[in-house]
Structure 1
Amino acid sequence: TLLRLSNSAKEHAVYLVVNLLERERDSSNKSTFYNTNIVFAKNGTLITKYRKINLQNEPKLTPGKDVVTFDTDFGRFGLMTGIDILNYKPSQWFGFSKNVTNVAYPTAWQSSMPFYMAMEVQAGYVLANKVNLLAAGFNEPSKGYGGSAIYQNDGDVINSFITDKPATSNVISTVDSASDFTLSGFDIIDGEPVSPLSNFNSSRDFDSKAYTFKSIELSGADISDSVCHKKICCSFNIVALSNETNSSEIY
């Protein structure tokens, strides 16, 4: 399998990031297993690997220790997978410590309403950390797995794929690796029809008592308000374009 992956990277002259189960044997023939990302260079050489640091429901695996990056002719990339995206190490180390402008993120993310949908988490990570994100999600919609996209560091979703059917797709786009970050409004899917995901079986994990809610009237063009939970307050500004607001959606 590794030889085929190496040959594929060389044949197409691309950097190839693959997530797999790694088995390591020590001198006493004892096996240790890791959730691992491996990277092949354009010439097919295996240049680095990252062992998942933050394990979740993976009792047979051993966590990795090291934050891993690799350099290409179009920028430096960080590596993470799965629940790593919600943990300080490695997800935030990239911007603070490693001068990373891009992150490669293969994942098997099981979506959970309302805060842990795959593409919702990915988009939030991009806006918070100002990096380009290449997210490749394992697809099994009947169990809530799915959601792949390419995100620009300003939050723009350049291309995406999510479906409620067993399927696979190549998500391909040109990404500006050196763009300056300017925060602006963005659409998850710009101008394209949104297909219903009636067979995408996401779970629900939500205790409303732990949150404070406030209804906002979106009829005004510019809205400034705040909401407080005990001693913590959040102030926000909203620009609502009435001719583009979909009344069937909840914001």
Structure 2
Amino acid sequence: MSTEPAASPSEPLSAQQGAALYRLMTWLSPSFPVGAFSYSSGLEWAVEAGDVTDAASLRDWLAAMLEYGAGFCDGVFLAHAYRAVANNDERGLREIAELSVAFVASAERHLETTTQGRAFIEIVRNAWASEGLERAVTACDGALAYPVAVGLISAVHGVALAATLHAFLHAVVSNWISAGARLVPLGQTDSQRVLAALEPVVISTGERALVASLDDLGSATFRADLAGLRHETQYTRLFRS
């Protein structure tokens, strides 16, 4: 049991903590222009197929994606990319970047993660120039998946890994819910209820991803993977994935 006194609730953030929080909130805000709004990660096909029809089925679908699919795997890639940059492990970073791009299950998911990753790097490069960024990007030697880009940038800027990981998963699930709200459709209150219901899943997934090894990577969301593949030939589409 810790004997250290608890921090005062009114204690201000340090300048460094404030800058880190400011950047993290900006980078993972829905308004940050990486084009996330144009992707549904296969959810559009799931709605057309009748797998997702209301708030409850959307919650269940997204909980599975978080715990057993892309959410967890992307969290692991983010954490390992962050640590590789922090440890100046360029070879390890290159291997993580290659694996993360190869791990996606469909052409559209590949487009989704690499397009957002590239946009994320370019915007931060131009707005928040930082020492070490170019070296880390060069080490990746090719396409950057979105979670690797977020982990890389956060490490370069000294933003805490745990906070980055939880903020990333929150941003991902928020975008999924936004897509579901337009497709099902759902009202704003139901959308927020789904987000609230997924809070413990986001937290537990982040905790697992934080300590997972690359050997722990794997998914069991076969229906979601099929949805991503089927979406490629879906006749009428609002989203790019």
TM range (shorter): under 0.3
Determine which structure has more spread, i.e. the larger CA radius of gyration.
1
> Which structure's relative contact order is higher, taking Cα pairs within 8 Å and 6+ residues apart?
2
Larger strand fraction of residues: 1
* TM-score, with length taken from structure 2: 0.23
Q: TM-score, normalised by structure 1?
A: 0.22
Q: Where is the helix percentage greater, Structure 1 or Structure 2? A: 2
